Structure 1
Amino acid sequence: MYKRRSLALAAMLSLAGLTQAQPADLANALSVDIGSGEQVIQALRDQHKGARTTFFRTLGADSLAVHIKDFFDKNGQVSISGHALGNANSVFFLKGNSKKLHGFLALNDGRKAFEYSSNELGQVTVREVPYTKVFPDFEEKFQRDYALAQGVSTLAVAAPTYSPMALRQAPHIGPYANQDVTKLESKPGSPWVFYLNTAAVMSGSTPLNGVSKEQMYRAWQSVADQYSMLNMNVTTNRTVYDAARAANTLRTGIINFVNQDGRSFAPLQSFGTTSAGTLYRNPSAGFDYGYGIGMTGAHEVGHQMGMSHDGGGSGGEYFEGIAAYQWGPIMGNYWMGGSWANQLFTWSRGEYSTANNQEDDFRIMTVNESVPYVADDNVSGKALALRAAGEINPQDNWGQIERNSDSDVFNFSVAASGVLNLRIDPIEYLRMLDVDASIINAAGQVVARSNLAVNRSAEFKNLQLGAGSYQLKVQGGAEGTPQNGFSNYSSVGYYAMQGSLTGGTEIPATPLSSGVPQLNQSGATGVWSYYAISLPSAASKLTVAVKGSNGDADLFVRKDSRPTTASYGCKSDGSTSAETCSITSAAAGTYYVGVYGYSAYTGLSVTATVTP
């Protein structure tokens, strides 16, 4: 029965091949209907299981027979990868479901390509397409070659510098600190994983060819920066990738580093399959390895996620950016902006006047590829944290603009009169965020605003503030116009702030009474919530407990000042939101309870109990 069904399907699809039209060029491309999505999936599933009948079709003089290496099916959603039968120098991938399938077969030796797609009835058609539709970076004017042909000196390229505020607010932020570069993860625990396979350019944990570990770290870091708005773990850890791929291949991607010079490329829309991109080392190019390979990696991963080139202007296929604003799309010719001191490379939807591609990059990643944005880390406002003498420290005060509709608010008060000195920096290495900040008073009036031109930071110097309550609002900025400049479309990323506020006061901690829980507390990842309980006289014990059924809330307690992760009287920081810590022989005074959102939590209770 099994064999008879396969042979029947083979016969039916062979007949379809006999009736195809066969024009001579791609303007009237060859095409063939190969059956319903359900039939195609079943035939490839059978073949992967070892069926004797190969799924064999022809299109003109070309065979469409494929060898299936990986077949993944989760609730009817499939990811199928392999290569042309008998031709290892090729790539085949197909993903979707019985109603909607899409993928490509590319024959690298002959530079031929075929696209698989479903119509509205679920019937699958294969048509010949230009090879560059599958591998866009085989277009003749490749980015790096084009830039060099225009006389861009390799000596003029300036790698980004780290903000002094980049202090590991997230795993991918800050300078190299002797991490194992084969175990890097930008968002540990996320089920969406993109694997940078560096095995071919490493000897164990040591890079080859004189490349430093710091450069390898910055190559990974640059890719992590460009995708930090997504809940996707960019990793160099093979074990993490293998586990994610086994759980759901459709949530994974892979690009292979290659230990030779060459033209980096990646198959379009191959995220969610095991078909990999290829990233060559190119040490002779003269560009910094970490910066250059990182930018190229972000660009090629972009193709795998579904983005085509952003072209226009004199750059043709690769838009060269707008020098006056030191901005360019990462899917354009990023090499042309290599010498800009404050370069900003972002995703795009083709708003500049000469754009030839109006694809919405964020929609492609989050809707087409179903990779979600990260959760908002500042939903309803945070307190601006002040240390001694009104110090505003970047370890306490930072956040992330996750999308262009996001804005973060920090609340503070001034008792009588105050002076604010504050700088807000983007803190990612290959940044996308242009900081726009405002100070707003209790009446909702904007007291001051800053968005430094071609600088990416915001700054307030000696800003005089009268008594009252204020908000600091941080959002993604824009410069010029969308047609000649850039909008805040993809002005997203991490930021931190540093400075001082004289005469300022923090938002009061929520008071606690012994044995009375504060119910239904919630907090975002990376956010502190503070509570306080006063002991008028010494007690034998102070016990503080938090209880919740989701997220990971960590508990810290300290006498007379707010606790931090480094300064506390007791702490409990397990992997859940059920934590308890106690201080014995508690002296009289005010005890501050800090609850830190290691991961976002809701429905938490906070209880402090005094034992007389």
Structure 2
Amino acid sequence: MKKTSSHSHSHSHFVLRSGLLAALLVSAVSAIAADTPAARQEIGSADALIRTLANQHANPNTRALLSLNNNAAQTKHLDTDITDYHFKDGILSVSGKARGSANSSFYLKGSAKNLHGYLIKHDEKKAYEYSTDAKGIVSVTEVAISKVIPDLDERWLKATTVNNLAGAIHPVYSPMASRQAPHIGPYNNEDVTKLESKPGSPWVFYLNHSAVMSGSTPLNGVTKENMYRAWQIVADQYSMYNINITTNPTVYNTAKSANILRTGVINFVNQDGRSNAPLSAFGTTSAGTLYRNPASGFDYGYGIGMTAAHEVGHQMGMNHDHGGTGGEYFEGIAAYQWGPIMGNYWMGANWAASRWTWSKGEYNTATNFEDDLRIMNVNESIPYVTDDNPSGKALALDAAGNINPQTNFGQIEKTGDTDAFTFTVTGNGKLDLKIDPIEYFGMLDVDAKIYNAAGTLISSSNKAVNRSAEFIGLNLSAGDYRLVIAGGAEGTPQNGFSNYSSLGYYAMKGTLVGSTPPADVMLSSGVGLANQSAATGTWKYYAIDVPAGKTSVVFSLNGANGDADLYSQLSVKPTTAAYKCKSDGATSVETCTVNAPSAGRYYVGVYAYAAFSALTVKATIN
């Protein structure tokens, strides 16, 4: 697999002035056509450029720059064909190619006050940047193609694969990983052409692997499990954001039609080569490229997945993390088995507990101080997922004091986020508990602390170069306790890693002797319990006692967002396979009825197929 070359990027703002257009375009294009390393060459106003692109979209034979300048000789090499055009509420996204050049790409996005993009001609190894100055004037400047797309330097790829991949150690699934979210856990015969990490999200990134598939069967002897893990790794690296990583073209096309600026695409190709992606192309249809490289000796799922996560990072606007002896690609810190995903993730192929995360250049030799998380959240406007544990929740214990990972899990969504779980010990208690990160190629290093009712720290765990936390035979006196889970750090930010991108899902398994199971959240007949929320892939449970002799009990959900599914069962908590009644439509408005109910306690399970908030849960006994 491959790494891309150095990129830099700007978020210039520009506005075209049509009155200046003809004269400015002549000088701009003349300088570019002569391959002169020129200063920024102004070509006019953004409004005029947007109008001409709209005209070209409506009339494909129109030449956009010629309609501005009417000089074929000076504009021919910048002439483009538009394949995708979106303009809504003053926001533009345009994609296409250089006219007459199949091996090229053109993309432009933003508004009349903030418009930026590139024209790339791969065969000529030329690139042109569209940008703006402080006065809002559009410019076209020839730039090194390595600023936008990597040189396809096969020598780098071969040297890296030969030296580092033969002894690659693949990640191992935590035994606690069991679909706490759609992307968590080993392959289980899913249709790999319809995978979704966050179903229902309007933000979508499409892994287009149609070229390496025959229907639902991968080509070249690659297994479906390989394809699943390639998708899963990208879903892992972006799980803190409300973006649906999908292999389903229908999901992508629907999202693209609704708002192309919330979508991105990368194409798998059925040939060898050095993978690459255009910088800041998210929000357009200009796609990255993933080559298969079967001779690299590296597992297709793991290798392609890591490469895809890195290339999608470029499309989001992130450049390489440099430094150390790795130069262009920082090689990570072996003592902590950590490195940045935008660095040289191949160098850690033989690290058994490797963690590759987003970075903001905190390590000693860093020269790129971009804030990766901010670039995605602010520059590309991709929202974080909703906090699944904003104010603490009870540790879920069964009657025997068992702590099950399918009911005790969560997600650290942002830098500095903490999740609290409360529990009570009666008499003398003993805790045995392990907390694992549960994403296959996750970023979370688990830090766990236990406090008593007075707020005194009783015990803490953050296992070195292990990523889990563990409490073994911890004796606890009677009282109330609080378990706090956070993203961990090791060493120092300069020589190690901070909790900046220690993010992701975790789960817990163990026993608590001498515990008191938390009380059920009880519903009153006919009274809705409002303001309920849950993250994608999680359950919330409620209960109601139904007396004998009733004609029915009706369960209902009423919510305006996400996709909450409703299940009910007598005496025990329901599952998707065991229930008295269920309602699992495509919205968060659901209802189901149990007629002639037996007397007893009915449990209501609400499953977040897609994250929801402000939900009302109600049970009515008739």
- CA offsets, 1:218-267, max 9 Å, x none? 11111111111111111111111111111111111111111111010111
Q: How far off is 1:114 after superposition?
A: 1.1
Question: Is residue 2:518 matched to residue 1:507?
Answer: yes
Q: How far did residue 173 of structure 1 move?
A: 1.1
Q: Conserved in 1, the CA contact under 8 Å of 2:63 and 2:80?
A: no
Match of residue 254 from structure 1:
265
Distance 1:440 1:570, change over 3 A: farther
Alignment of 1:485-500 (within 5 A): 485-500=496-511
Q: Match of 2:133?
A: 119
After TM superposition, the structure 1 = structure 2 runs for residues 591-606 of structure 1, keeping only pairs within 5 Å, are 591-598=602-609, 599-602=611-614, 604-606=616-618
User: For structure 1, which segment, 578-587 or 21-30, has the greater mean C-alpha deviation from structure 2 after superposition?
Assistant: 21-30
The answer to whether residue 101 in structure 2 is matched with residue 87 in structure 1 is yes
Paired residues, number: 597
Distance 1:527 1:297, change over 3 A: closer
1:393 to 383, 404, 418: 404
For residues 59 and 554 of structure 1, do their structure 2 counterparts lie closer, same or farther at Cα, with a shift above 3 Å needed?
same
Equivalent in 460, 467, 472 of residue 449 of structure 1: 460
| Partner residue, 1:199 | 210
Asked if residue 362 in structure 1 is aligned to residue 362 in structure 2, the reply is no
How far apart are 1:438 and its partner, in Å?
A: 1.2
Question: Are residues 1:147 and 2:164 paired?
Answer: no
2:171 is the alignment partner of 1:163: no
What amino acid is aligned across from residue 219 of structure 1 in structure 2? A
Deviation at 1:607, TM superposition (A): 3.8
CA contact (8 A) 2:269 2:291 kept: yes
Which has the larger displacement, 600-609 or 325-334? 600-609
- Give 1:552-563 correspondences, 5 Å limit: 552-563=563-574
For the 8 Å contact 1:548–1:578, the answer to whether it is kept is: yes
User: Aligned pair 1:69/2:83, yes or no?
Assistant: yes
Q: What residue number does 2:256 align with?
A: 245
Counterpart of 1:73 in structure 2: which amino acid?
A: F
1:522 corresponds in structure 2 to 532
Q: Is the 8 A contact 1:434 1:491 kept in 2?
A: yes
Give the alignment of 1:532-611 within 5 angstroms: 532-534=543-545, 538-541=548-551, 543-551=553-561, 552-574=563-585, 575-582=587-594, 584-587=596-599, 589-598=600-609, 599-602=611-614, 604-609=616-621
1:324 alignment counterpart: 335
What is the CA distance between 1:591 and its match in structure 2? Answer: 4.1
Partners of 2:179 and 2:316 lie apart in 1 by 27
Check whether the contact 1:47–1:55 (CA below 8 A) recurs between aligned residues. no
In 2, Cα distance between equivalents of 1:30 and 1:534? 76
Task: Report the alpha carbon displacement of residue 106 of structure 1 after superposing the two structures with TM.
Answer: 1.3
Unmatched runs of 5 consecutive residues or more in structure 2: 1-15
Distance 2:75 2:528 in 1: 74
**Residues 190 and 233, structure 1, Cα contact 8 Å, conserved in 2:** yes
1:4: which partner in 2? Answer: none
Equivalent of 2:40 in 19, 26, 31: 31
Match of 1:138 in 2: 151
Is residue 397–residue 518 contact of structure 2 (8 Å, CA) maintained in 1? no
**In structure 2, what is the Cα distance between the partners aligned to 1:105 and 1:331?**
24
Note if contact 2:332-2:343 (Cα within 8 Å) is conserved in structure 1.
yes
Q: CA deviation at 1:54?
A: 3.8
Residue 294 (structure 2) pairs with residue 283 (structure 1): yes
Distance in 2, Cα, partners of 1:61 & 1:482: 50
In structure 1, distance between residues paired with 2:243 and 2:155: 28
Preserved CA contact (<8 Å) 1:29 1:129: no
Residue from 218, 225, 232 that aligns with 1:214: 225
Q: Find the partner of 2:234 among 210, 223, 230.
A: 223
Hey, what's the Cα distance between the residues in 1 that align with 2:491 and 2:50? 50
Amino acid at match of 2:533: G
Q: Flag the 1:534–1:19 CA change in 2: closer, same or farther, 3 A.
A: closer
Moved more, 310-319 or 577-586: 577-586
**Cα distance in 1, alignment partners of residues 479 and 225 from structure 2:** 47
Post-superposition offset of 1:63: 2.4
Q: 1:43 to 1:166 in 2, by over 3 A?
A: same
* 1:481 has 2:492 as partner: yes
Aligned residues of 1:90 and 1:107 also touching (Cα < 8 A): yes
Q: Could you tell me whether the CA contact under 8 Å between 1:556 and 1:571 is conserved in 2?
A: yes
Whole-angstrom CA distance in 2 between matches of 1:457 and 1:341: 13
Task: Choose 515-524 or 470-479, whichever is displaced more.
Answer: 515-524
With normalisation by structure 2, the TM-score equals 0.90
8 A contact 2:330–2:339 mirrored in 1 = yes
1:108 aligns with 2:119: no
In structure 2, the residue corresponding to 1:189 is in which secondary structure?
Answer: coil
Q: Is the 8 A contact 1:112 1:130 kept in 2?
A: yes
Report the Cα distance in structure 2 between the residues aligned to 1:25 and 1:402, rounded to whole angstroms. 50
Which is further off, 323-332 or 393-402?
A: 393-402
Retained in 2: the 8 A contact 1:435–1:474?
yes
Q: Name the CA distance, whole Å, in 2 between partners of 1:141 and 1:466.
A: 63
Q: CA deviation at 1:202?
A: 1.0
CA RMSD of aligned residues (A): 2.6
Residues 167/147 of structure 1: CA separation in 2 closer, same or farther (3 Å cut) = same
Contact 1:553 1:601 in 2 (8 A): no
Amino acid at match of 2:549: A
Partner of 1:152, secondary structure, is helix
Aligned residue for 1:503, secondary structure, equals strand
Q: Give identity over the alignment, percent.
A: 57
The worse-fitting range, judged by mean Cα deviation, of 433-442 and 504-513 is: 504-513
- What's the offset of the Cα at 1:214? 0.8
Say which SS state the counterpart of residue 614 (structure 2) adopts: strand
CA distance in 2, matches of 1:343, 1:396: 27
CA shift for structure 1 position 316: 0.3
**In the alignment, which residue of structure 1 is the partner of 2:54?**
45
Do 1:215 and 1:290's aligned partners in 2 also have CA atoms closer than 8 Å?
yes
Which residue does 1:13 correspond to in 2? Answer: 21
Letter paired with 1:550: A
1:329–1:348 contact (8 Å) kept in structure 2: yes
Q: CA deviation at 1:505?
A: 1.7
Contact 2:520 2:542 in 1 (8 A): yes
In structure 2, the residue matched to 1:5 is none
1:405 aligned to 412, 416, 439, which one?
Answer: 416
Cα offset, 1:444, TM superposition:
1.6
Paired residue secondary structure (1:240): helix
**Matched-pair contact (CA < 8 Å) for 1:30–1:128:** no
Higher RCO (CA < 8 A, seq sep 6+): 2
For residues 568 and 53 of structure 1, what CA distance do their matches in structure 2 show? 63
In 2, the alpha carbon distance for the partners of 1:555 and 1:181 equals 27
Task: Confirm or deny: 8 A CA contact 2:65 2:75 kept in the other structure.
Answer: no
**Is 575-584 or 221-230 further displaced after alignment?**
575-584
Taking a change above 3 Å as real, the CA distance of residues 110 and 590 of structure 1, as seen in their structure-2 partners, is closer
Aligned-pair distance for 1:506? 2.4
In structure 1, what residue type is equivalent to 2:136?
G
Q: Matched residues in 2 for 1:85 and 1:14: separation? A: 21
Amino acid at match of 1:46: N
Q: Aligned match of 2:432 in 403, 421, 434?
A: 421
Partner of 1:46, secondary structure, is helix
How does the TM-score come out when normalised to structure 1? 0.91
Q: 1:577 to 1:142 in 2, by over 3 A?
A: farther
